Chains A and B, each alone.
Chain A
C-alpha cells in the first residue's frame, strides 16, 4: 500500500517536472523562432512554429493529467489549489509563446534592420524571465527558500524587457518609416513579445504568495 502510494507520488513528481521542462522549452523555442524570423530563415522558423504548436497542446494535456491525478489520489489537500493555480498560470506562458510565434507566421511583420537587434533583445529578456520563473517553480516544490531569489530575477528580466520595449517603440515611431500602419504593426509585435515576460512576472507574483503559505 505504502509502496503504491509512493509510486503514485513519484510518477506525479516526474509529470510535474516534465511539465515544467515543457514550459522552459517553449520559452527557448519561442526565442529561436523569433531569431529565425528576423534572420529570414523561413524554413527554420516554420519548423519552430510547428514544434511550439505541438508543444502547447502537449502541455495542456500534461496539465490536465496532473490535475486529474492530484484530485483522484487526494494528494496535497492543503496546497492542491495553489499547485493547480501555478500550473494553469504557467500554461498562460506557453500559450503566449505559441500565440506570438503564430502571429509572426500569419501577419509576417516587416522588421526594419535598425530594429532587429532590439527585437532580439526583447525576445531574449522574455525568454530569460520564463527560464527564471520555471526555476522558481521547481524550487517551490523542492527548495522553498530559493524561490525568492529566482522571483527577483524574473522581476529583473521583466523590467529589462519593459525598457527595451519602450526604447524599441520610440525608435520605431521616430524612424523615417512612412506608413503609420507599419509603425503600429511593429509596436504591436514589440508589445506581444513583451507580454511573455509580463506573464512570467504574474506567475512569479503568485508564486511568492504560495511560497509564504508553504512556510511551516
Chain B
C-alpha cells in the first residue's frame, strides 16, 4: 500500500498544484471581489471537482491513453513527476503553463524512451484542441456577453436584486466550472496511472459501483480539493484583483464560457448525444482552464470594442504550447533513464 501511495504521490502532487492554481480560474473574481466567501467557494469547488472527476473523467483520460499507455507504475510515477516539475519550474520562471500540456509532453518523453510510437492522430487532435479551446471560449463569451447585456438593459431589475442574482449565478457557473474542470483535467492528474491502476473495482452497498479508474480519479479529486483548500485563496485574490479586473457580471460570462469549453471537451454523454443526432462532436481532450478563461476574457474585450487586449499575453500562451510539452518531454526522458538504470525499476 505504501509503495502504491508513493508511486501515486507525483500524480497527487500534480493534482494539488492543479487545485491550487486552477480553482482561481473559476472562483477567482467571485472571491476576489468579495461576492462569495472563500470557504463557500472552496467547498462547492471541491465537491464538484470530485464529482466531475469520478463521473465524467474517463473520456479525456482515454485520449491520453491512446497517446501513450504507460503500463508500469514506476513509469507513470516519473511521467506525472516530470509534468509536475515542469509546471513548477515554468511557473517559477514566470511562463504561462498548463498541466495538460506538461502531461502530454511527459507522455511523449515516455514514448521516446520506451520506443513506443506516438499516436500521431491523437497528438494532432490534442494540439489542435489546445489552439481551438481558447478561440472557442472567446466565441462563447462574445455571444454570452451580448445576451447578458441585452438582458441587463431590458430587465429593469434593481441593482441590489441583480447583486443577489449575480451571486447565485456565480455559484451555479462555479459549480458547473468545477465539475467540468474535474471531468476534463483529472486526466492530467491520474490519466497516466489508469493502465497500471493498482486498485480493484468496488461496490458500495450494491448501490454504487466504482471502477478501479474511478477510485484513482476519486483520489486525484481529493488531491485537487486539498490544493483548493490549502493554497488557492492566495491565487484567487491575485486573479480577482490584479490580472483580469473583471466585474462580477463579466466574471459570470467568462466562467460560464470557459466552463462550457471544458465540458465540451470532457463529456462523453454530450459527445454521444451529438453523434447520435448527426452533429459534429468535440474530441475528449484535456485542455487548459487558464487558457480557456483567457480566451473568454479576450472574447469579452472584443465584445466591448477590442480595447485593452493584452497581445503580449497571447504571444506567451502560444509559446507555452511549444515550450511546456518540450520541457516536460525532455525531463521525462532523462528521469526515466535514471529510474530504469539507477533505481533498476520497470518503466
Binding site for B on A (CB under 8 A): 2, 5-6, 9-10, 12-13, 16, 74-79, 83, 140-145, 214, 216
Tell me if B312 is interfacial: C-beta within 8 Å of chain A.
no
Tell me if B161 is interfacial: C-beta within 8 Å of chain A.
yes
Tell me if B250 is interfacial: C-beta within 8 Å of chain A.
yes
For A73, the closest partner residue in chain B by CB is B160
B248 to chain A, nearest CB (A): 6
A201 to chain B, nearest CB (A): 23
Contact B163 A75 (CB under 8 A): yes
Tell me if B157 is interfacial: C-beta within 8 Å of chain A.
yes
For A12, the closest partner residue in chain B by CB is B160
Which residues on the A side are within 8 Å of B153 (C-beta)? 144-145
Q: Contacting A9 at CB < 8 Å: which of B33, B35, B160, B247? A: B160
B200 to chain A, nearest CB (A): 42
Tell me if B149 is interfacial: C-beta within 8 Å of chain A.
yes
- A-B pair number, CB within 8 angstroms: 50
Contact B159 A216 (CB under 8 A): no
0/1 interface trace, chain B 137-167, chain A, CB 8 Å (1 if under):
0000000010011001100111111011000
For A146, the closest partner residue in chain B by CB is B156
Which residues on the B side are within 8 Å of A76 (C-beta)? 159-160, 163
Q: How far is the CA of A75 from the CA of B163 in the complex (A)?
A: 7
Tell me if B34 is interfacial: C-beta within 8 Å of chain A.
yes
Which residues on the B side are within 8 Å of A10 (C-beta)? 161
B273 to chain A, nearest CB (A): 32
Q: How far is the CA of A1 from the CA of B156 in the complex (A)?
A: 24
Contact B34 A77 (CB under 8 A): yes
Q: Contacting B152 at CB < 8 Å: which of A78, A79, A216? A: A216
7 tightest A-B contacts by CB? Answer: A77-B34, A76-B163, A216-B249, A141-B159, A9-B160, A13-B158, A142-B156
A209 to chain B, nearest CB (A): 15
For A138, the closest partner residue in chain B by CB is B158
0/1 interface trace, chain B 296-327, chain A, CB 8 Å (1 if under):
00000000000000000000000000000000
Which residues on the B side are within 8 Å of A13 (C-beta)? 158, 160-161
Contact B156 A143 (CB under 8 A): yes
Contact A77 B161 (CB under 8 A): no
Given contacts A77-B34, A77-B35, A144-B153, contact A216 B160 (CB under 8 A): no
Besides A9-B163, A78-B35, A141-B160, 14 more A-B contacts (Cβ < 8 Å) are: A6-B164, A9-B158, A9-B160, A75-B163, A76-B159, A77-B34, A78-B33, A78-B248, A83-B159, A142-B159, A143-B156, A144-B152, A216-B148, A216-B250
Which residues on the A side are within 8 Å of B249 (C-beta)? 216
Given contacts A78-B248, A216-B249, A216-B250, contact A141 B33 (CB under 8 A): no
Which residues on the A side are within 8 Å of B163 (C-beta)? 9, 75-76
Q: How far is the CA of A145 from the CA of B153 in the complex (A)?
A: 7
B345 to chain A, nearest CB (A): 53
Contact B247 A216 (CB under 8 A): yes
For A77, the closest partner residue in chain B by CB is B34
Which residues on the B side are within 8 Å of A74 (C-beta)? 34
Contact B164 A79 (CB under 8 A): no
A210 to chain B, nearest CB (A): 10
Q: How far is the CA of A78 from the CA of B167 in the complex (A)?
A: 12
Q: How far is the CA of A5 from the CA of B148 in the complex (A)?
A: 23
Which residues on the B side are within 8 Å of A144 (C-beta)? 152-153
Which residues on the A side are within 8 Å of B248 (C-beta)? 78
Q: How far is the CA of A140 from the CA of B160 in the complex (A)?
A: 11
A160 to chain B, nearest CB (A): 30
Which residues on the B side are within 8 Å of A216 (C-beta)? 145, 148-149, 152, 247, 249-250
Which residues on the B side are within 8 Å of A78 (C-beta)? 33, 35, 247-248
Q: How far is the CA of A141 from the CA of B248 in the complex (A)?
A: 16
B299 to chain A, nearest CB (A): 14
Which residues on the A side are within 8 Å of B168 (C-beta)? 2
Contact B33 A77 (CB under 8 A): yes
For A143, the closest partner residue in chain B by CB is B156
B281 to chain A, nearest CB (A): 33
